Amino acid sequence: MLKIGLTGGIGSGKSTVCRLFAEFGVPIVDADLIARQLVEPGQPVLSLIAKSFGQQMLNQDGSLNRARLRDAVFTDADKKRELDGIMHPLVYGKIAEDVRELTADYCIIAVPLLLESKNPYVVDRVLLIDCPVDLQIARVTARDKLTRQQVQAIIDSQMSRPERLSKADDVIENIAGPEQLAEQVKRLHNSYTLLATVRTQSA
pTM score, two decimals?
0.89
Domain termination site, one of 85, 101, 117 = 101
Number of domains within the chain: 2
Statement to judge: residues 139 and 186 lie in one domain:
yes
Statement to judge: residues 95 and 15 lie in one domain:
no
Over range 98-110, report the average pLDDT.
96
Helix 77-100 / helix 66-74 crossing angle, nearest 10 deg = 120
Statement to judge: residues 189 and 129 lie in one domain:
yes
Query: Could you tell me if 121 and 92 are in contact, meaning their C-beta atoms sit under 8 angstroms apart?
Result: yes
Statement to judge: residues 67 and 153 lie in one domain:
no
Domain termination site, one of 101, 133, 151 = 101
8-state DSSP, 109: E
Domain termination site, one of 86, 101, 116 = 101
pLDDT at 145: 82
Give the list of residues 6+ apart from residue 12 with CB closer than 8 angstroms, or none: 129, 130, 131, 136, 174
* pLDDT per residue as tens digits for the range 190-201: 999 999 999 888
